[in-house]
Amino acid sequence: IICMLEDISSAATASTASTNSTVVISTAAKSSSVRNRLIHDLCRYLPEHLLEPIVTVLLSMLERGLITDVILLAFLVPQRRFLKLNQAVKIRKSIFRQIGLNCPNLIKLDLSGCLQVSNSVIRSILQGCPALEDVVLNNCYKVTDAAFDFSESPFQTLVGCLSLESISLQGCPQITGEIISTLNKNFKRLKYLNLSQCKNVKSPKIQHIFDHNQLQSLNLAFIDDISDEAFLLLPEPHAFSQQQLQALCHHSDSPLQKINLGKSRITDVSIVRMSHMARRLVEIRLQWCNGITDAGIHALVQNCRRLRLIDLKSCSITDESLASIALLSEELQSLDLSWCLGLSDEGVKKLLVQPDHSSSSSRRRINRRSRSGGSYRNSSGRRINGSKLSFRNDESYSSDESGEFPYERCLEHLSIVWCSQVTDDCIASLQGIPTLRSIEVAGSGLSPQGLENLRESGIEVLL
């Protein structure tokens, strides 16, 4: 099919360069017409894994004016489940409307960068796709809150809203905070929401997103108006006794697992409130949040013990934050400390402190048995000189003559980009983290010899 499309493209290109263009165009048109009919018939039965490369070729030809968007109708059939038409600015809205009519079994749709997509297009798709689970509408400038409002479609229900689990509206300038009430009311299965770069989303409306009882991932990065006001409806921990707070958190425990608040104006106040109500967090991104300090990080890791990724890029933290992370985040796998200028060697050394198990139900240990002359690799591929490391989910550790000792750290990736106070003095500490696989060090105080020592110990150094 791709060869046929390339033949059509070549014939059309040749026709524009020919002196006898009338004859060539006529011949090419007849040939193209036959091929188009054949492509149309074949594409109706294409398996999903062949769809994307074919559509890519078609969109490229459409951009050059070699075909019309009518041929895309061949792909809009009832068995189609996945459709990706991002950046397809040449497709007419009438073709987009056919998606809802012809693809009732559609599960995932990507229309990112389609500037012509409007509210009427989105509503027609939601009306006809009752199995829709994932919609990506990034940078669709004409889409507004009304596209998802049931009151705007009085004669036909937006059935797609009832099944949607993931929606991305990144960079949609007409989306405002009014959409939150619509999502809470009608999108009962929603688990992932991306409103990053939606400049008209304001803090007062964001408060209510935490009322959604299914939402697991929330992206509010690069929204200038997001501040502590967005978290005002969450209870203030200091207003309750410890027993009351535990009961309240247990009753209203949020299912939220991932949140991105990058480049917002929040402070430690928001982190304290959120950490008490979202104890299931496994990933939090606070990059470029200048209002976050050591106090906020301590509250975060104290209440959210399942964190696996923490991004603190360019936050105003010191070595005290690393001490809290090392003590309380035993499941942490990735830690980004880039541009945290207040960190030093002492903070990095604290990453070797053993975690506190007071609220942990499981323990892991490493069995280190010395062997003379030789080196071994742990399960992550790290070479450990003179010893062998192996993880085991096991019972509590007790010291004996077997050489076993507890090591609970799971850290695999560390970024200290432009942490200028981090020098070669912490090399031994970094080598002492057996699970560490990679480290980003551009602009740090580590010398070439120090970097070479890290490579020799099996750590991948990223510059």
Tens digit of pLDDT at every position of the chain (463 positions): 667 666 655 655 555 454 444 444 454 455 556 666 776 677 767 777 777 787 888 888 888 877 788 888 888 888 889 999 999 999 999 999 999 999 999 999 999 999 999 999 999 999 999 999 999 999 999 999 999 999 999 889 999 999 999 999 999 999 999 999 999 999 999 999 999 999 999 999 898 998 899 999 999 999 989 999 999 888 676 555 555 455 545 445 789 999 999 999 999 999 999 998 899 999 999 999 999 999 999 999 999 999 999 999 999 999 999 999 999 998 999 999 999 999 999 999 999 876 776 554 444 444 433 323 344 445 445 544 433 333 333 333 333 444 444 445 689 999 999 999 999 999 999 999 989 999 999 999 999 999 999 999 999 999 9
Residue 455 tokens, joined: 């490579």
**Look-up of token digits 């040749």:** 14
* Predicted pLDDT at 313: 97
Which token pair is 136? 């990506």
Contact at 8 Å (CB) between 324 and 297?
yes
* Full DSSP string of 336-359: E-TT-TT--HHHHHGGGSPPP-TT
Sheet with strand 391-394: strands edge to edge: 391-394, 363-367, 404-405
H/E stretch holding 143: none
Q: Which long-range contacts (CB under 8 A, 24 or more apart) does 209-215 make?
A: 209/180, 209/183, 209/184, 210/234, 210/254, 210/256, 210/277, 211/184, 212/183, 212/184, 212/187, 213/255, 214/188, 214/189, 214/190, 214/255, 215/190, 215/191, 215/254, 215/255, 215/256
Cβ-contact 299, 324 below 8 angstroms: no
**Which pLDDT score is estimated for 363?**
45
pTM: 0.83
The pLDDT of residue 233: 80
* Rounded distance between C-alpha atoms, residue 211 and residue 228, angstroms: 17
b/e per residue, 319-348, with b = 16+ CB within 10 A?
bbbbbbbbbbbbbbbbbbbbbbebbbbbbb
If phi > 0 it is left, if psi is from -120 to 50 it is alpha, else beta; for residue 113 that is left
Length of the chain: 463
Cα separation of 93 and 78, whole Å?
A: 20
Structure tokens given for 286: 């606070």
- 415 DSSP β-pair partners: 336, 440
CA distances from residue 455 to 347, 348, 350, 380, 448 in whole angstroms, order as listed: 21, 18, 21, 14, 11
* DSSP β-bridge partners for residue 366: 391, 405
DSSP type of residue 141: T
Backbone angles phi, psi at 191, to 5 degrees: -120, -25
Q: Considering only CA atoms, which of 124, 120, 113, 123 is closest in space to residue 90?
A: 113
Q: How far is CA 198 from CA 179, 201, 221, in A?
A: 12, 6, 9
Burial category of 396 from C-beta neighbours within 10 Å (exposed 0-12, middle 13-18, buried 19 and up): exposed
Alpha helices in 64-202 (DSSP H): 93-102, 119-128, 159-163, 179-186
> What does the pLDDT read at residue 10?
63
What is the C-alpha separation between 336 and 320, in angstroms, rounded?
15
Question: 245: burial class by Cβ within 10 Å (0-12, 13-18, 19+)?
Answer: middle
Phi, psi (rounded to 5 degrees) for 243? -65, -45
